[in-house]
Amino acid sequence: MDFLHYQKGHLFANKIAISELAKQYGTPLYVYSADYITKQYLEYARALVNRKYLVCYAVKANSNLAILSLLAKLGAGFDIVSQGELERVLKAGANPNKIVFSGVAKSVVEIERALKVGIKCFNVESEAELYRINEVAKQIGKIATISLRINPDVDAKTHPYISTGLRENKFGISYKLALDVYRQAVSLTNIKIVGIDCHIGSQLTELSPFLDAADRILTLVAKLKSENIHIEHIDFGGGLGVCYADEQPPMASSLMKELNKKLVNYPDIELLCEPGRSIVANAGLLITKVEYTKHQDGNHFAIIDAGMNDLIRPALYQAWMNVLPEKESQNTDEKYSYNVVGPICESSDVLAYQRQLSVKQDDLLVICSAGAYGFSMASNYNSHPRPAEVMLLNDMQHQVIRQRESLEDLWRGEIVL
């Protein structure tokens, strides 16, 4: 997060004081850098300029319209998993022909809507889904373009909750069954095969799992060609990790260049990828206020106004996220090993364990690398309104891109008996 730095003892984002953002917009508060998002997207795109490509941002990582519209203007495609995400990207100005529709449970309504707007393709995740798409397309007089999401049974060496490429995971079609399912697809009247897709997991910090999966997919592409089934694009998915603590993931450009090398004998095949976290995670932060400090029985708690309802990653899969005080610590400050905990009535509502901090009541903390799977997974648990979101437009300018929810928003659509 190279846009965060201390200046005269206080934390700044670009040239904007964190304290000023908190004062103007309140806390908890999500803040994103437009420049960082742009830089991360272009790192993918510029590594692929010598071939046909499409970088499809994984909308689930962060679906704010401002972020989607920024990426659409840069030329991005989008990887979606629901009709809600489809409508979001269309609202943001996306070209429908740059949308790929993933997800294991596509409904009839979702398939029909995607066909009518003319998406690039469906990433099909089961035989049953393939037949459903064919029937829906037949009923409305459309030809559905599809790729099969193949599960290559490659160990992504990541947390089991975000592993998607092993045979026991719910995603995709078994590598062993793939050839037969493609044969079935050829026989269907309203299906056009255009691609092959895989996605093996998230927060990958080395290249080898990606390249192993690519080798398995290319072996299958060769078998398909021998049966006169020709692939127009290969979608290698997403999952590239980011630095939360001391991880050293490869650069996006390195991954793209290595995958491009794998396709040296396939110059006419379009290369697709579906990055999400690596574009937005380190573009975002969560500003929170210390409501109380609590010291008892050798335990120290910094009790903040942000909770697992605002940022569930630490509670959901023990994610480690850096926590910075708004006021720069001095060597003479008294520090404690704090558990940074939220207001939610759950023992799992801990955003950070055992952090050496010097803080007091009403101080501000910044939780780093919160741009991905932060607000997009937020909830109203314990009837807390969701935070506002702000975009840093440049070094000095910022703008609200989502208003803070009001208390009335909590019961909108409900009735009193």
The secondary structure of 155-205 as a DSSP string is ---S-GGGB-SSTTSSSSEETTTHHHHHHHHHT-TTEEEEEEE---BSSB-
Rounded to whole angstroms, how far apart are CA atoms 10 and 104? 46
Q: Do 296 and 269 share a domain, yes or no? A: no
Say if 63 falls within a structural domain: no
Domain-located, residue 260: yes
pLDDT of residue 163: 46
Q: d(Cα 140, Cα 255) in Å, to the nearest integer?
A: 40
Q: Is the pLDDT of residue 171 over 80?
A: no
243 is catalytic: no
In this predicted model, what pLDDT tens digit does every residue of 184-196 receive, in sequence order?
Answer: 999 999 999 999 9
Residues 125 and 240 in one domain: yes
Residue 332 pLDDT exceeds 70: yes
Residues 8, 155 within the same domain: no
**Do 117 and 241 belong together in one domain?**
yes
Pair 167, 300 in one domain: no
CATH code at 262?
3.20.20.10
Q: How far apart are the C-alpha atoms of 292 and 363, rounded to whole Å?
A: 9
Confidence of residue 164 (pLDDT cuts 50, 70, 90): very low
CA angle 302, 283, 246 (to 5 degrees): 65
Q: Are residues 255 and 312 in the same domain?
A: no
Whether the CB-CB separation of 46 and 38 falls below 8 Å is answered with no
What would you measure as the largest C-alpha separation in the chain, in angstroms? 75
Query: In whole angstroms, how far apart are CA 86 and each of 9, 116, 121, 190, 266?
Result: 44, 12, 13, 22, 31
* Residue ending a domain, choose from 213, 244, 273: 273
155 confidence band (pLDDT: 50, 70, 90): low
pLDDT score of 2: 86
| DSSP 8-state class, residue 405 | P
For residue 62, the 8-state DSSP code is -
Same domain, 203 and 288: no
Task: Select which of 56, 121, 243, 345 is catalytic.
Answer: 345
State residue 161's pLDDT score.
41
Q: 265 and 124, same structural domain?
A: yes
pLDDT tens digits, one per residue of 39-56: 999 999 999 988 999 999
Q: Measure the CA–CA gap between 148 and 127, rounded to whole angstroms.
A: 9
Note the pLDDT tens digit of each residue in 119-133.
Answer: 999 999 999 999 999
Instruction: Check: CB of residue 359 under 8 Å from CB of residue 302.
Output: yes
Mean pLDDT of the chain: 94
Residue range 271-303, pLDDT digits in tens: 999 999 999 999 999 999 999 999 999 999 999
Assign residue 75 a region: left if phi > 0, alpha if psi is -120 to 50, beta otherwise?
A: left
* 173/236 same-domain check: yes
Whether 48 and 256 have beta carbons less than 8 Å apart is answered as yes
pLDDT of res. 162: 40
Q: Is the pLDDT confidence value at 156 over 60?
A: no
> In the listed set 273, 307, 337, which residue is the last one of a domain according to the structure?
273
Name the domain boundary from 273, 303, 329.
Answer: 273
Per-residue pLDDT at 207 exceeds 60: yes
252 and 373 share a domain?
Answer: no
On whether both 227 and 162 belong to a single domain, the answer is: yes
Same domain, 261 and 288: no
Considering the domain boundaries, does residue 265 fall inside one? yes
What is the mean predicted confidence (pLDDT) over 359-376?
98
Residue 397 belongs to what domain range?
Answer: 4-32+281-410
Residue 319, in any domain of the structure? yes
Q: How far is CA 335 from CA 80, 296, 302, 325, in A?
A: 45, 15, 12, 12
Least trusted range by pLDDT, from 70-74, 169-173, 318-322, 399-403? 169-173
Structural domains in the chain (count): 2
